Structure 1
Amino acid sequence: MSEPSMGGASSQEQKRPEQLSVKANMLWNSIGSMTYLACQWLTTIVVVRLSSGYDDAGLLSLAMSVVGIFGTFANYKMGTYQISDIKRENTLGEYMGFRCLTLAGSFVACMVYAWLTCATYALITVALFYVFKAVGLLIDILHGEDQINRRMDYIGKSFMLQGVCTLAAFAVVYGITQDLNVAIVAMLVAVTAVLVLFDIPHCRRFTRVTVSLSAKKALFFLRTSLPAVVASVAASAIFTIPKQYLAVVSGDAALGIYASVAAPALVIQMGAQYLYGPLLDIFPRLFFEGDNKGFLALLVKTVLGIIGITVACAIVLEFIGGWALELLFGESIAPYVYLLQPIIVSTAATAFLWFFGDLLITLRHFWANFAGNVTAFLAVIPLTFMCVDVWDMNGVSFAGAGACLLGVLMLLGFLVHVVRRGPEPLERRELASAGSKNGGDAS
């Protein structure tokens, strides 16, 4: 299928913006992403503060959870694939077209699931929230083009606009109408405005913004990224199993306590992603150009950076973790602060699992990523029974950390083999050809 351009002038008619440094890109990406996440979290607070009860808060949480289940399939792990497409094998229009295809398919699956598992009155809320998130996933494709051209300041500013505008729209409309569905529509209008007025014009500085997808290309994307999608689902389920088992043997309260204590440790996962995310287009370029020294140097720096983030968070949370938890959840959480340090270890292990898996995707070794993540998933099943039965709530952290570390070791083994073998000579020639066709822009 093919549709008209979503923008006007092509990038050839405009002066291409200068690229930013790696540090500048990391800074903009981190600030923008944290602003967006904070605004999304504040939305869940606003709905409680402005309502007379907890019904709408529960309904919004339900919509978020149901839509989140199908987010992996809607995303189809194409973000990592796109930003590492340094040989320009596919156009922006094809990525946009495939994203529209996966969004449509996932929407149908999401609504069938909601119809089978949710109350009838919740269906419209789930549908509206899905459409709202779908616009954000379309923006992510444009962000991929921004990152390839190393202008992640556009990404950071977009995230800030999305976060602030959607939060403001939700707060104002919900405060006036007390109607959750109308408030979600307001968020949808706000994020669509950011797409049309900010992201599309900025992305047009690099290339034409179109939607086009052939059946052959769609099948190629579906086949190529399927192992990564399955791996992503497996990775997301690693901690679900021990948490569910904890709830069975110790009750919902134990799971609630564990989830509450785990909240501050998510900073490690976010920090790790903000650290290595802007590098996922640099790693494959160094590799396919045969610059093993540069590749390994960047790899070591990234690994040390993730370790540094983990150590820094562990030290900070050791001193203020108890105070922060009591501030957020009350004095009743104080006896469970001992859970925090094992949670930090398991969170760091998860960050490394994600990093090495994404890195192998950028090097086009999808099945290696699949093997590492599925191995971790399979390992967590016996570890769950062993660890939770012995250590109760801490057993969730120990089981998850052990499974993730096993997966990391397997991914690292694959990575060592890939780097030692190096890229095929044909791959290097294709990269050189792609670079010449693009006028050296991506160098």
Structure 2
Amino acid sequence: MQVTDVQNELKTGEYLGLRLVSTTLAFALGIAYSLITCSLQSLPVIVLYLIYSMAVNLIEGFHAIDQKHLRMDFIGISYIIQGVSSLLLFIIALSVTNSLEAAVGVIAIANIMVLFLYDKKKASLLELIKLKLNLNKSIKVLLSLTPIVLAQICSSSVLTIPKQALAASFGAAALGIYSSVASPATIVQMGAGYIYSPLLGEFAARFNEDRRKGLRLLKKVVVYISAATFGLSVLLLVFTRPILAILFGSKIIAYTNLLGMVLICTYFTAFAWFFNDLLLSIRDFRGSFFGNIAASAMSIVLSFILVPQLGMNGVSLTGALSYGLALVFMLAFFVSDYHKMQQRENEIIG
């Protein structure tokens, strides 16, 4: 939302204030959920992890400022600092103390330091940052964004539902095997995200300025995502067997035939997520909402049909068909939006 705001709907300080309110609310809800579902012994590490997550989320607010000013190098360095410091400190703390609480607490402190000592300072070089905390306005904005939140929940449920159906029908072991085989495919999804995520602000600006410029960029990104997903998929098909054998043992190799359908599902997932973010960047919340609702509904229906019949492959097929339906909805909304842009441009010219 912040990166793609080309109309200056909210000031930078208001976005940061909104992010602070939303992360604090999420922190409180996370603790409440943990009290209901987890033992009291596990609560300290959960609280520390939630603090870590809050720091990471607030860092993303400063990254949005960097991205709007086309300083992706600041973001890259921040990720490197976060990743290296978190990994090393977690290993050291766990080795020295043998305490998960200490290890998670250390990485929480490390990311809070990155937030204030690096990201805040770098973003302040780009523009004057003054936190504006308007609770009433924040609540109104959060309520207006409820459809987007629901859409994202539905999107994430598309694969969660068939996985739960798999566990219910074939047991937790089947779910563990499927998750292990499918884990390398996240590389494909991440690769697609790294291609288009830095361009979301550019999409918003181009479609706001001239729809044809936006469409040209869209065509290029679709080609790049297709090439990246294909190339990464080929590499995974070649190297996944030895990688899985090293990570999970030789017995997992018998299930690597699942990877083909997993990669097909990943392809549809990557494009559904891309067009979802594209619709959000041009402020078509309805398209995102209805596309993800349709995908979630189809996932519920297909999970009870395909998973019992096809087992682990049923999870991937359910995901592929559900995200495929989401793509159909989102493309239809995008085409409608594009025609509306054309009409507005014609009215301005006329």
TM-score range, shorter chain: over 0.9
AA at the equivalent of 1:160: I
- 2:180 aligned with 1:180: no
CA contact (8 A) 2:27 2:54 kept: no
| Residues 272-306 of structure 1, C-alpha deviations (whole Å, 9 max, x = no match) | 110100110011111111x2222111111111112
Q: 1:322 aligns with which of 241, 247, 250?
A: 241
- 2:300 aligned with 1:342: no
| Residues 85-116 of structure 1, C-alpha deviations (whole Å, 9 max, x = no match) | 12222122111111111112111111111111
**Greater fraction helix:** 2
AA at the equivalent of 1:389: P
| Residues 119-158 of structure 1, C-alpha deviations (whole Å, 9 max, x = no match) | 1111111111100110111110000000000001000000
Q: 1:225 aligns with which of 116, 120, 145?
A: 145
Written as runs of structure 1 = structure 2, the 5 A alignment for 1:95-114 is 95-114=15-34
Distance 2:117 2:153 in 1: 34
Structure 2: stretches of 5+ with no match in the other structure: none
Written as runs of structure 1 = structure 2, the 5 A alignment for 1:374-385 is 374-385=293-304
CA contact (8 A) 2:188 2:233 kept: no
- 2:341 aligned with 1:422: yes
AA at the equivalent of 1:339: L
1:313 equivalent in structure 2: 232
Distance 1:423 1:87 in 2: 19
Alpha-carbon deviation of 1:423?
7.1
CA contact (8 A) 1:287 1:423 kept: no
Written as runs of structure 1 = structure 2, the 5 A alignment for 1:3-402 is 81-289=1-209, 291-402=210-321
| Residues 337-392 of structure 1, C-alpha deviations (whole Å, 9 max, x = no match) | 11001000101111111111111111111111000001000011111122112211
Structure 1: stretches of 5+ with no match in the other structure: 1-80, 430-443
1:439 equivalent in structure 2: none
Instruction: State, as a whole percentage, how many aligned pairs show the same letter.
Output: 36
Distance 2:343 2:207 in 1: 10
Distance 2:30 2:131 in 1: 23
Alpha-carbon deviation of 1:217?
2.7
Alpha-carbon deviation of 1:219?
3.5
Distance 1:329 1:259 in 2: 11
CA contact (8 A) 1:258 1:393 kept: yes
1:438 equivalent in structure 2: none
AA at the equivalent of 1:386: I
AA at the equivalent of 1:230: L
Change (3 A) 1:216 1:425: farther
Distance 1:168 1:194 in 2: 15
Distance 1:140 1:236 in 2: 20
**SS of 1:364 mapped into structure 2:** coil
**SS of 2:6 mapped into structure 1:** coil
**SS of 1:83 mapped into structure 2:** coil
Distance 2:233 2:106 in 1: 39
TM-score (norm 2): 0.95
**SS of 1:85 mapped into structure 2:** coil
AA at the equivalent of 2:56: G
AA at the equivalent of 2:225: I
1:75 equivalent in structure 2: none
- CA RMSD after TM alignment: 1.7
Distance 2:135 2:44 in 1: 31
| Residues 233-280 of structure 1, C-alpha deviations (whole Å, 9 max, x = no match) | 001010111111111111111111100000110011101110100110
Alpha-carbon deviation of 1:424?
7.7
Distance 2:308 2:112 in 1: 49
AA at the equivalent of 1:165: S
Alignment length (residue pairs):
347
Distance 1:147 1:247 in 2: 41
